[in-house]
Structure 1
Amino acid sequence: MTQLLRPASYVSGHWHTNADGQTLIDAVYGRPVAVISSKGVDFAGALAYGRRQGAAIRRLTFHTRARALRALGTYLMERKEAYYELSMLTGATRRDSWVDIEGGIGTLFSYSSMARRELPDERFWPDGRVERLGREGTFVGRHLLVPRDGVAVQINAFNFPVWGMLEKLAPAFIGGMASLVKPAPQTAYVTERVVRDIIESGLLPEGALQLVTGEPGDLLDHLTEQDMVAFTGSAATAAKLRVHPVVVGRNVPFNTEADSLNASVLGLSVRPEDPEFALYVREVAREMTGKAGQKCTAIRRAIVPAHLVEAVTEGLRRELGKVTMGDPTRDDVRMGALVSVEQRERVRETLRQLQAEARIVVTNETPLLGGDPEKGAFLEPTVLLCESPLTARGPHELEAFGPVATLLPYDSLEDAAELARLGRGSLAGSIITHDRAEATELVMGLSSTHGRLLVLNRDNAKENTGHGSPLPQLNHGGPGRAGGGSELGGLSAVRHHMNRVAVQADPTTLTAITREFVPGADVQEDAVHPFRKSFDQLQVGDSLLTHRRTVTEADIVNFAGLTGDHFYAHVDEIGAKEEGIFGKRVAHGYFLISAAAGQFVSPAPGPVLANYGLEGLRFVEPVGIGDTIRTRLTCKRKIRKELRPGETRPTGVVEWRSEITNQDGVLVATYDILTLVERARDEFDPPADLQA
């Protein structure tokens, strides 16, 4: 690359450039690659702009936001090769960059899918159940999650310029907040290229994403109570930012994902000839050399049985001996450079400090395959051995953020767990064993100080994603030194960006607010059976009160014969009186459900296409011979269902509240029924000619 890059900031709807600034150096050959600067950026104005523009995001439903993320993921995936080209300038191989680039874009798809599958097509998220607050049922309450009115300020680390941004952007956008991204300077030009494509796509509302490529200036001084900060980086920097006067004074939510001294434990039962031994050696070597060891989840401490130290050392010597280092654009290079010469020198200094309590037992000094040995930021993989790990301090406090790991021998599982806990909080840990009892003991011993634990063995070796791979569906964060936050974790990451409010009202008003039927609310009954209405015609609160049916002995006997369920409480008169808890024979619970279906189902073909499921079934009171039941069926909520490839018939899922009462009006059973109901084609459906 001959032309110097000048990555710009994107704030207040405009690209902002400055001729002067910090010069960034190519990590492989030591050549100038970019100049970045945020001089002249109005940080207060950028935050104010994001808050104003965020109103447009908050007007969108969860599903609309999710569809935008899915479209954006497709758009970026089509342009990924440009990101790979820039990423190699940071010292990353294509394999390293795959995790960053395609892993980051994959996060957009994951959050899009989770939101469309698990969240309502609304601007708010009902949380938990309706709480009855009064004896008569006229006063109820429920929690709602609603978007915050501020901006999510996202400060990212240098090691994942794409993934680090997108894994924060996705849950923030789904949660209804605008994002202001501040990438680390060393790799900001990669982030800027992706942001430029996002802005040009027009797929997100204007103001949903802003970018500051240079120094953050007085950005944090202008935060308000409605804003929030998500930080990824060193624990030391996190500690400084967390006590910023504005963050503390205005109680600004601050989420941290900090580098940690992650550990991997080899089980005491493992033998050198076991598959788990080879898995352990490969996993440690892979985590040391992936991204040249520059991962916040990388294995820094290898905790191994004392009698296997020599075997593990030899295994790592062989495995790391296969690692070729040099220019990451070459196909025969497995490990590139650290992000900068300055970063390499910091790692070397930490390595020197670690040697006060440990000695180097493995190092890989192979010739470079391309790259400049002096100007490039290359560092050979290094393994140390600390022979007194329970009393040492360095291995549990000093992190060499590069291809460095320390072997820590142990004699008992209790000692192994204690060594892992000495790291004072980790993002990720791994346990390699095929002994389930051993795995259980170690998981229990490590859980309090870890955000995620991988138990690896021969059974999951082919499918496991690795010690250091965060997944959108699972927690990414950790206690203590790891920051005490959580960036991912499925929809819990969306919750971080929302305010939880308790709404108290009468059932009818709460139904109107949440658009989800609350027991005790007014219902609408008309001459048209609810099952004769399409998804679009149905309204929450549409209801049917069925005819009555008296339960007979013949009903119970016939149901027992049909199903084979001859439980004594249903068919044994003497046993039911002497041993049963009801003092009489009672009808099968599933008979009641079946009888209720016979009461409310409209049998002719119509908009209701199928029974989709049943949830929350509770049998409240027994029904005996001679009791009379009737059922009230009420439309509880509606969920639009997206057309899948090959489908041509648009549908939605309708959730019905079903309440069975006896002759005294006492509730005997309650449950929710899900039905698949035909709906009209709408603007979000793909054209019919693309569905065949």
Structure 2
Amino acid sequence: MTIQQISSFASGEWIAPGEGARNIASAVTGEVIASAGNNALDVQGMLDYARNVGGPALRKMTFHERAKMLKALSIHLGKHKQAMYDLSFDTGATQSDHMIDIDGGIGTMFVFASKGRREMPDGHVYLDGDIEQLSRNGTFLGQHICTPLQGVAIHINAFNFPVWGMLEKLAPTLLAGVPAIVKPATNSCYVTELCVRIMLDSGILPAGALQLVSGGLGDMLDRLTMQDVVSFTGSADTALKLRANPVILENSVRFVAEQDSLNASILGPDAEPGTPEFDLFVKEVQREMTTKAGQKCTAIRRIIAPEAQVQAVIEALSARLAKTVIGDPKLETTSMGALVSNGQKQDVLEKVAIIGQEAERVFGNPEDFAVDGADADKGAFLPPMLFHCANPDAAQRIHDTEAFGPVSTVMGYRDLDHAIELANKGQGSLVASVITHDPAVARQVAMGAGAYHGRLYFNNRDSMKESTGHGSPLPHMVHGGPGRAGGGEEMGGVRGVKHYMQRTAIQGSPEILSAIGEKWVPGAVEIDGPAHPFTRRYNDLQIGETLYTEPRTVTMEDIEHFAHFTGDTFYAHMDQAAAERNPFFPGRVAHGYLLLSFAAGLFVEPNEGPVLANTGLDGLRFMKPVEAGDTMKVRLTVKKKTKRNDEYGEVRWHVTLTNQDDELVAEYELLTMVAY
């Protein structure tokens, strides 16, 4: 058999394994299939290449340009999925496992590409929150901004998801404008290397944006600065060693960790046998125990059920686990493959022995189980193993020992507070799930266990057809957890992007803040355009371009006509005595939506032109009532421009309505699509 040489990609070059390389065995056959590692890598050169070549190239791009880059990468990877599938079988993963890893990783990158286009500006500065008025007259303001760190992100990934684990970190990093050096776990680095090759060969990424270390990092972490980030996934012991690096501590290097997690699933007190929730609970636990052979950071390790239902859970779960077909992952009939290596198999057995000191094994015998199409002694195979702990209050090791494989422990609870207490004994986890049809149960768990868990997953008969599952981190939501789980957060949409950016408080005049944020701030200079702004195309409009309208007088006839025409005959518009008794109104007043309609009539250019559609308004506020006889006028200012596609962009207008005394009556932001 030809042994594959797994290379690193450093400073723009592929470097083959060298001194210090180690062999990698197939999880299925136990035979050596690859070699990876090179102690001679120029790690300082890699850091310099990322900081001096990759970083500037990425920061030159806008958020939207980087989002388009991510989308192009996702599409390109999607065309090469089969090659990654074929290679991944040697990790012990089945075809369905590949889809979680490879398709899930590509899908995650797609989501970040979409969020970058939808939720971030087509610029270089991300505005974090609203303007803060720091002075009486509004000439001195504050704003928080986020800009890309000017260093490099070091991604240290686990063996269980060689593609998803890389892409879920890489997508927000590149979207932020920061280059990455990826270091996958050696046991499955051959899959990661192929994925990196596919991305680099596409020519989509700028030089220096992505580098790969197949093997050890050497002393790279000793060379980091305050502009760098380390994002780690793995064991708590390893995380502690890395986090304690003197350079990381001295330079306050950002350290994001996702580590050991004793995740729990709680069967609600209402979910008795025969209910859809009970069946769902058993199905979810079985799936989490066997998917990726239980090698998931989000897998269910502790099964918490009402004491009266413990035996029913054991019996139902054992029956489902008995249907698990263990074997060569290439076989279509195989439902659970091997662990990633025989070393990992041995580690799980050692942890099982610890758990066995406090719990009784009620299903699965690691000494006697069948394996289809492979040698159980040579491959890293284990059966799903279910334990029962009769006294979870007195136990300790079931709450602090993670067997990273197809292993879980059932325990009973007396009441819901006891269930919450048991879940929290894990001292911090990535996820806890609650299967219940009772909203009160869900709320009690959220209040009692939320502080101990990064994610709470609730499911029942209403949501189960569309739910993604206990163990599925989604790019829209944060992935991480407190305490034992590492205290970090990944993904979470734009929240994940901010890990690779610096939040800075800026203070100054409206004009200064407008220039920095590329977004007009009230009080900044207004520009008198050469023509009505609705006659001007997207590319011609300038930030700050302003239209002042002629005034319009609001009459009692207008108010009554609008009331009868719309059916909005609320007393404040129609009953003088009742309106006067209302502390907000001096008497009968105009409808707020009448004022908006009149405003549109004042500023709209009716003829066909570049304005294609009004897509909504944000932040509408009514400040002062308008009575019959008052006049109103409108100020319309180009606040922000955002490209949407090749035909048109979004123009956000700041709109104010004032009365005859120049008092602010209403304010909002109008959104329109305008042709280029």
Contact 2:258 2:485 in 1 (8 A): yes
Alignment of 1:412 with 2:419, yes or no, is: no
Give the structure-1-normalised TM-score: 0.96
1:274-293, aligned counterparts within 5 Å?
274-293=275-294
| Matching residue within 502, 525, 528 for 2:528 | 525
2:496 counterpart residue number: 493
Residue identity matched to 2:253: V
1:367 counterpart residue number: 370
1:413-432, aligned counterparts within 5 Å?
413-432=416-435
Separation in 1 of the partners of 2:137 and 2:462? 56
Separation in 2 of the partners of 1:384 and 1:318? 14
Distance 1:551 1:221, change over 3 A: same
| Matching residue within 641, 644, 660 for 2:657 | 660
1:165 counterpart residue number: 166
2:6 counterpart residue number: 7
1:25 counterpart residue number: 25
1:569 shift after superposition: 1.6
1:580 shift after superposition: 4.4
Distance 1:579 1:110, change over 3 A: closer
Question: Which moves more between the two structures, 65-74 or 562-571?
Answer: 562-571
| Matching residue within 666, 670, 674 for 2:667 | 670
1:149-160, aligned counterparts within 5 Å?
149-160=150-161
1:49 counterpart residue number: 49
Separation in 2 of the partners of 1:13 and 1:240? 30
Contact 2:92 2:340 in 1 (8 A): yes
Deviations 1:285-304 (A, max 9, x none): 11111111111100000001
Separation in 2 of the partners of 1:302 and 1:508? 58
1:682 counterpart residue number: none
Deviations 1:330-386 (A, max 9, x none): 111111111111111111111111111111111164321022222211111111111
Separation in 2 of the partners of 1:560 and 1:69? 51
Separation in 2 of the partners of 1:162 and 1:127? 31
Separation in 2 of the partners of 1:504 and 1:445? 40
Separation in 2 of the partners of 1:19 and 1:640? 48
Separation in 2 of the partners of 1:447 and 1:169? 28
1:563 counterpart residue number: 566
Contact 2:18 2:40 in 1 (8 A): no
1:49 shift after superposition: 1.0
2:317 counterpart residue number: 316
Separation in 2 of the partners of 1:664 and 1:461? 58
Separation in 1 of the partners of 2:37 and 2:515? 51
Separation in 2 of the partners of 1:404 and 1:71? 39
1:436 shift after superposition: 2.2
1:383-398, aligned counterparts within 5 Å?
383-398=386-401
> SS of the counterpart of 2:117?
helix
2:460 counterpart residue number: 457
> SS of the counterpart of 2:281?
helix
1:440 shift after superposition: 2.2
Distance 1:157 1:673, change over 3 A: same
Separation in 2 of the partners of 1:122 and 1:548? 36
Contact 1:451 1:478 in 2 (8 A): yes
1:527 shift after superposition: 4.2
**Unmatched 5+ stretches in structure 2:** none
Runs of 4+ deviating beyond 3 Å: none
1:180-191, aligned counterparts within 5 Å?
180-191=181-192
Question: Which moves more between the two structures, 287-296 or 505-514?
Answer: 505-514
Separation in 2 of the partners of 1:452 and 1:509? 40
Contact 1:608 1:676 in 2 (8 A): yes
Separation in 2 of the partners of 1:144 and 1:13? 33
1:690 counterpart residue number: none
Contact 1:155 1:232 in 2 (8 A): yes
1:72 counterpart residue number: 73
1:19 shift after superposition: 4.0
Contact 1:620 1:667 in 2 (8 A): yes
1:357 counterpart residue number: 358
Question: Which moves more between the two structures, 433-442 or 304-313?
Answer: 433-442
Separation in 1 of the partners of 2:17 and 2:521? 57
Separation in 1 of the partners of 2:24 and 2:529? 71
1:616-635, aligned counterparts within 5 Å?
616-635=619-638
Residue identity matched to 1:654: V
1:322-333, aligned counterparts within 5 Å?
322-333=323-334
Separation in 1 of the partners of 2:574 and 2:256? 60
1:581 shift after superposition: 2.8
1:622 shift after superposition: 1.6
Give the structure-2-normalised TM-score: 0.98
1:535-550, aligned counterparts within 5 Å?
535-550=538-553
Question: Which moves more between the two structures, 561-570 or 98-107?
Answer: 561-570
Separation in 1 of the partners of 2:38 and 2:118? 40
Residue identity matched to 2:342: V
Percent identical across equivalent pairs? 51
Residue identity matched to 1:247: I
> SS of the counterpart of 2:539?
coil
1:44 shift after superposition: 1.4
Residue identity matched to 2:4: L
Separation in 2 of the partners of 1:133 and 1:382? 61
Deviations 1:251-276 (A, max 9, x none): 00000111200000111122211121
Alignment of 1:614 with 2:614, yes or no, is: no
Separation in 2 of the partners of 1:610 and 1:9? 51
Separation in 2 of the partners of 1:548 and 1:527? 21
Distance 1:526 1:278, change over 3 A: closer
2:134 counterpart residue number: 133
> SS of the counterpart of 2:266?
strand
Separation in 2 of the partners of 1:653 and 1:39? 52
Contact 2:310 2:412 in 1 (8 A): yes
Distance 1:578 1:464, change over 3 A: closer
Contact 1:620 1:668 in 2 (8 A): yes
Deviations 1:150-177 (A, max 9, x none): 0010000010011000000000000010
Distance 1:518 1:579, change over 3 A: closer
1:50-449, aligned counterparts within 5 Å?
50-53=50-53, 54-363=55-364, 365-449=368-452
Separation in 1 of the partners of 2:32 and 2:584? 83
Contact 1:569 1:580 in 2 (8 A): no
Contact 1:259 1:297 in 2 (8 A): no
**Unmatched 5+ stretches in structure 1:** 644-649, 680-692
Question: Which moves more between the two structures, 369-378 or 218-227?
Answer: 369-378
1:513 shift after superposition: 2.4
> SS of the counterpart of 1:669?
strand
| Matching residue within 504, 507, 511 for 1:508 | 511
> SS of the counterpart of 1:465?
coil
> SS of the counterpart of 2:139?
coil
Residue identity matched to 1:17: A
Contact 1:151 1:177 in 2 (8 A): yes
1:401 shift after superposition: 0.6
Separation in 2 of the partners of 1:37 and 1:611? 57
> SS of the counterpart of 1:6?
strand
1:192 shift after superposition: 0.6
Q: How many equivalent residue pairs?
A: 672
